[in-house]
Structure 1
Amino acid sequence: MDGKVCLITGASGGIGLEAAKALAGMGATVVLVGRDATRTEAAVSAVRAAAPQAKVEWLKADLASLQSVRELAATFKARYPRLDVLLNNAGLILDRREVTADGLEATLATNHFAPFLLTHLLLDVLKASAPSRIVNVSSDAHYAARLDFEDLQSERGYIGFRVYGTSKLANILFTRALAKRLKGTGVTVNALHPGTVRTGFGHNTKGFFRHIVKLGAPFMISAEKGARTSIYLASSPEVESVSGEYFYKCRPRKPSSVARNDDFAERLWQVSEQLTGVKA
C-alpha cells in the first residue's frame, strides 16, 4: 500500500480505526473521517502508535448532513491529488426516528445517502487514480430488511433495527448498481458484512436494542477481527478485479434476493440522485 491514499469514514473507533491501523501499517497514507474532534484526534494518535511511520490525517464531517459531505469531498480533493481506497464505514442506528436538516430520516441519511453522495463526489479522483477501490460496509441485517419506496423515510412506522437493515440493504443495492457503471474504469466496488462486532455501535440508543447489544457483547467478535474483511477488500491482490460482490470473512457471500434485484437497485439509484442532488 506504499504511496496509496485511503479515506475512511467512521474511523474514530471500532472497525474503522482498526482498518486505519492496518492500512497505515502497510504503508498507506490514511485519512480518517470523524465528527468528534477529541475522539478522532485520539484515533489518529492510536494509528501513529500502531504504525509510527504512518502518514495520517483526519477530516471533520457530520455524515448526517449532505452539506458536510460536500465539504468533506472538497477538502479532501484540495489536499490530495489521488484516492486509491474509499472505505465507506460509518454507520448509525437509532431507536427513535430523527430527521436531518436535509429532511431525511437520519439512519438512512447517514448509512446510505452520505456514502452515495461522497462516492459520487470522489469518483473523478478515484478514476484518475485507477486501479482503485470502493469498499462499503454493509451488514447481514439486510437479510430481514424490506425496501418500501412508498415510505422510504419510515414516516408510517419506525422500528430502529428494521430501518438499520434497510439502510444496509441500500448499501448492497448501491454497490451492485455502481459496479455496473464502473466497468472498464479500473475502479472496483464491493460490500461486506463485518460480523457481529463488539464496539461502541448501538450505545447511542436508549431502548431495546441497547440492551440486546449489552447482553450480546460477550459473544461478539473484536473490532480487530471485524475489520479484517474491510482490510482484505481494500488491499488484497486477490480481489483487484472483483467488483459488485458481497463478502463475509474475506469470501464472497450471497446476499438476499432483494439485494440482488437490479430493478430495485436502479430505482434506489434514481431516488438517491434526487434526494442528494447528484446529477444523472
Structure 2
Amino acid sequence: MSLYRNIVWFIKGMQEYTRGRYETASKSFVTKDLDVSVVGRSFMITGANSGIGKEAAMAIAKKGGTVHLVCRNKERAEAAREEIIRESGNTMIYVHLLDLSETRKVWEFAEAFKREHPTLNVLINNAGCMVNQRELTSDGLEKNFATNTLGVYVLTKCLIPLLEKSRDPRVITVSSGGMLVQQLNSADLQTERTAFDGTMVYAQNKRQQVVMTEVWAKAHPKIHFSVMHPGWADTAAVATAMPQFYQMMRDRLRTAEQGADTVVWLAVSSAAKATASGLFFQDRRVVPTHLPLAWTSSSQEEIQVFRGQLETLAMATRPTGYPANA
C-alpha cells in the first residue's frame, strides 16, 4: 500500500502541483477577493526572508498590513525587510530572529511578543526544513520534527490567547501534498525506530500539521484555522533539500509568488473566512486530505495520543516560570 500511495501521489503531483495547473486554476480566481486593504491588521510570517514566506510578506505589505518577519538569519531577514519596504512603500515591517527548531527559544519568543504587542490578527506558519540525515537539536529533538511540528505547535499554542483577543484572527499553516502518502504515526514521532528518510520524515511532519490544524479548529472556534499546499514552487529550500527533483522539475515549478497566492488569499480575503475552519486548501479551494483508496486516516485514539505527546514534549521544553496554559 505504501508503494501504491507513493506512485499515485507522484502522478497526481505531476499534474496538480505544477505551474501549468496553477495557471489553469487561476483563471477561475475571483480578482476582488484580494482587492482589500489590511491597514491596521498585523501579520506574523515565519520563514519570511525568502521563497513563499517572503512573497506572502510582500503581498500583505503592499495591502498596508503590519508584518512581523520571523527568520533565522539576521542578514537575510534585514535584506528582505529592506526590499519589502522599498517595493511596497510600507515601513511597518519588523524583523524577529528565531530558529523554530530550538523549542525553548520558541517559548521565549512567543511570550516576549505577547508582552510587547497588544494584538496579532494573523499567524502564518511557513518556516520548515528537510534535513536528510538524522540530526538532534540542543533540546535533544530530531530536527525536522522540532522545526516542522513541535516548533509550529508551541508558537501557535502560545499565540492563541493573543489571537483570540484580536479582530478576525486567522492561522494559516503551509503544509505539502507530500503528506498524502503518510498516515499519522504517533508511535514514532521522531523516527527513532524506523529507517530515516528525510523526504518521508518531512511528509510525516506535514501530515502532523494537517492533524494539528483540525484539532485547533475544534478547540478554538474564535480563530479561523487553515492548512494549505502551495504546489511545487521554485524556491531555494526545494533546490537545496531535493536537488535531483529540482533539476528534473525546474521547468514546471511554480514561481514563489504563485506558491504564496493561496497563503495570501487565506490570510486576507473574506471569501476564505467564509469557509469552515480546519480545512486543507490548494489554489484557493478546499481539497481532500487523503488520496482515494489510501489508508491514511487516523482514529480519534491515535490523534489523542499524538496530542498528548506534543503537549508532553512542549511542556518539557518550557522555560522555568512560564505559565502552563500559555
Aligning the two structures, in what range does the TM-score lie when normalised by the shorter sequence?
over 0.9
The residue number in structure 1 matching 2:260 is 227
| Identity rate, percent | 32
* 1:152 is the counterpart of 2:189: yes
* 1:56 is the counterpart of 2:93: yes
The residue number in structure 2 matching 1:81 is 118
Deviates more, 1:112-121 or 1:263-272: 263-272
Alpha-carbon distance, 1:195 to partner = 0.6
Picking from 134, 137, 148, the partner of 1:100 is 137
* 1:166 is the counterpart of 2:204: yes
Over 3 Å counting, the alpha-carbon distance change for 1:61 and 1:89 in structure 2 is: same
Question: AA paired with 2:102?
Answer: S
* 1:68 is the counterpart of 2:105: yes
Contact 1:92 1:202 in 2 (8 A): no
| RMSD (CA atoms) | 1.6
Question: AA paired with 1:170?
Answer: Q
Contact 1:172 1:259 in 2 (8 A): no
Question: AA paired with 2:226?
Answer: N
Alpha-carbon distance, 1:102 to partner = 1.4
Alpha-carbon distance, 1:221 to partner = 0.3
* 1:110 is the counterpart of 2:110: no
* 1:39 is the counterpart of 2:76: yes
The residue number in structure 2 matching 1:125 is 162
Picking from 200, 214, 226, the partner of 2:236 is 200
TM-score under structure 2 length normalisation: 0.81
Question: AA paired with 2:283?
Answer: K
Alignment of 1:182-221 (within 5 A): 182-183=220-221, 186-205=222-241, 209-221=242-254
Alpha-carbon distance, 1:148 to partner = 2.6
Task: Count residues with an aligned counterpart.
Answer: 275
Alpha-carbon distance, 1:261 to partner = 4.9
Alpha-carbon distance, 1:264 to partner = 3.4
Gaps of 5+ in 2: 1-37, 319-323
Over 3 Å counting, the alpha-carbon distance change for 1:40 and 1:276 in structure 2 is: same
Deviates more, 1:122-131 or 1:222-231: 122-131
TM-score under structure 1 length normalisation: 0.93
Deviations 1:171-197 (A, max 9, x none): 0000000000012xx211100000101
State the alpha-carbon separation in 2 of the partners of residues 217 and 7 from structure 1.
Answer: 29
State the alpha-carbon separation in 1 of the partners of residues 300 and 168 from structure 2.
Answer: 25
Gaps of 5+ in 1: none
Deviations 1:58-92 (A, max 9, x none): 10001100112112212322331100000000010
Q: Structure with the greater relative contact order (CA < 8 A, sep ≥ 6): 1 or 2?
A: 2
Over 3 Å counting, the alpha-carbon distance change for 1:263 and 1:231 in structure 2 is: farther
SS in 1 for 2:110: helix
Over 3 Å counting, the alpha-carbon distance change for 1:13 and 1:272 in structure 2 is: same
Over 3 Å counting, the alpha-carbon distance change for 1:222 and 1:261 in structure 2 is: farther
The residue number in structure 1 matching 2:284 is 250
State the alpha-carbon separation in 2 of the partners of residues 265 and 228 from structure 1.
Answer: 30
Larger Rg: 2
Over 3 Å counting, the alpha-carbon distance change for 1:152 and 1:22 in structure 2 is: same
State the alpha-carbon separation in 1 of the partners of residues 233 and 256 from structure 2.
Answer: 6
Picking from 264, 288, 302, the partner of 1:264 is 302
Picking from 46, 53, 73, the partner of 1:9 is 46
SS in 2 for 1:150: coil
